């Protein structure tokens, strides 16, 4: 945000050649990829041709609801898989069916998902597909359209959430107001900041910066950092209202 309180000028996202390493540059298409804000606790998914193709499909205003659900679910799955890579593991040695030992690892501690209703609930299926019998909590926060400030209406969280690693789910990070309020709810329940990972499909650079500065020990995992916010605090180029496209249109 600028000193006047207005959205900062948009930062044009870079472009690069996409495709397998073994293909020459002239055989790779050029596509817009995520910006790279200098934020220590922000992790952006590798900008592969597969990811950009999926993002292109869900950004397209002509994509129907069934396809929007299918392809956004695929991106959510990639986000969950990457988030799990950030969790601690312990050594574990097992014996294979042929009687040989294998030195591996196992996850340390338990996890739970917390979705910011309603759009965040769209990411729950991807979490369930990766983590069997995972517990999921809910937080309902709505933005006042006039002030753009969030209001907390409801929360229902596991009783032992302070002892778990929390994957906070919300597909769009615009100003960051709703997500920051959700984190405050988690902190009030005793969840350590460093045990929270915030997952989203698309983030604005302003929202990511505000969020990361306020919670420097929390990690953000996103698929794409977009150009910025417009005068209505909508992410641009964005993909529209995620909840409407996923649930109603």
Q: What is the CATH number of the domain that holds 108?
A: 3.40.50.2020
Task: State the pLDDT at residue 2.
Answer: 46
Give me the domain span that covers residue 202: 23-248
67 catalytic residue (yes or no) = no
Task: State the pLDDT at residue 233.
Answer: 87
Total number of domains in the chain: 1
163 catalytic residue (yes or no) = no
Segments in the chain below pLDDT 50: 1-4
Could you tell me where the DSSP H helices lie in the chain? 49-59, 65-84, 124-130, 177-188, 205-214, 242-247
Is the residue at 15 inside a domain?
A: no
Task: State the pLDDT at residue 8.
Answer: 53
User: Whole-model pTM?
Assistant: 0.88
Question: Among candidates 200, 198, 187, 192, which has minimal Cα distance to 226?
Answer: 200
Task: State the pLDDT at residue 103.
Answer: 96
pLDDT in tens, 70-89: 999 999 999 999 999 999 99
End-to-end, the C-alpha distance of the chain in Å comes to 32
The b/e string for 98-112 (b: 16+ C-beta within 10 A; e otherwise) is eeeeeeeeeeeeebb
- Rounded CA separation 222/72 (Å): 13
Task: Provide the 10 A C-beta neighbour count for residue 119.
Answer: 22
Task: State the pLDDT at residue 9.
Answer: 54
Task: State the pLDDT at residue 50.
Answer: 93
Question: Among candidates 58, 98, 89, which has minimal Cα distance to 74?
Answer: 58
230 catalytic residue (yes or no) = no
Contacts with 58 (C-beta within 8 Å, 6 or more apart), sequence order: 68, 71, 72, 75, 201, 239, 245
Is the residue at 147 inside a domain?
A: yes
Marked catalytic residue, from 143, 155, 214, 230: 143
- Rounded CA separation 212/227 (Å): 17
Is the residue at 141 inside a domain?
A: yes
Average pLDDT, the chain: 89
The b/e string for 195-226 (b: 16+ C-beta within 10 A; e otherwise) is bbbbbbbbbbbbbbbbbbeebeebbbbbbbbb
Asked whether 35 and 213 are in contact (CB, 8 A), the reply is: no
DSSP H or E run through 223: strand 219-225
Phi, psi dihedral angles at 111 (to 5 degrees): -125, 165
- Rounded CA separation 246/121 (Å): 10
Task: State the pLDDT at residue 196.
Answer: 97
Token pair listed for 140 = 């309902």
- Rounded CA separation 94/185 (Å): 40
Is the residue at 12 inside a domain?
A: no
245 catalytic residue (yes or no) = no
Is the residue at 73 inside a domain?
A: yes
- Rounded CA separation 93/74 (Å): 32
Asked whether 126 and 221 are in contact (CB, 8 A), the reply is: no
Is the residue at 33 inside a domain?
A: yes
Asked whether 81 and 126 are in contact (CB, 8 A), the reply is: no
Is the residue at 2 inside a domain?
A: no
Is the residue at 11 inside a domain?
A: no
Marked catalytic residue, from 95, 96, 147, 248: 147
């Amino acid at each position: 945000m600028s000193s006047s309180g207005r959205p900062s000028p948009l930062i044009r996202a870079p472009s690069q050649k996409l495709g397998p390493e073994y293909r020459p540059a002239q055989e790779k298409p050029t596509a817009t990829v995520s910006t790279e804000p200098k934020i220590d606790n922000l992790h952006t998914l590798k900008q592969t041709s597969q990811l950009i193709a999926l993002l292109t499909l869900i950004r397209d205003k002509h994509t129907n609801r069934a396809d929007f659900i299918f392809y956004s679910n695929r991106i959510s799955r990639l986000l969950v898989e990457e988030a799990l890579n950030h969790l601690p593991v312990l050594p574990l040695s097992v014996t294979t069916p042929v009687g040989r030992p294998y030195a591996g690892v196992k996850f340390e501690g338990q996890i739970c998902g917390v979705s910011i209703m309603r759009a965040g609930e769209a990411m729950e299926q991807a979490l369930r597909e990766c983590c069997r019998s995972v517990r999921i909590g809910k937080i309902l926060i709505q933005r006042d359209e006039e002030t753009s400030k969030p209001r907390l209406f409801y929360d229902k969280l596991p009783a032992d959430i302070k002892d778990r690693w929390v994957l906070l789910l919300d597909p769009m990070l615009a100003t960051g107001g709703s997500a920051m309020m959700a984190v405050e709810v988690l902190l009030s329940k005793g969840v350590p900041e460093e045990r929270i990972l915030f997952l989203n499909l698309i983030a604005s650079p302003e929202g990511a910066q505000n969020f990361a500065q306020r919670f420097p020990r929390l990690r953000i995992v996103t698929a794409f950092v977009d150009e910025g916010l417009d005068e209505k605090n909508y992410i641009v180029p964005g993909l529209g209202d995620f909840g409407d496209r996923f649930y109603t249109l």
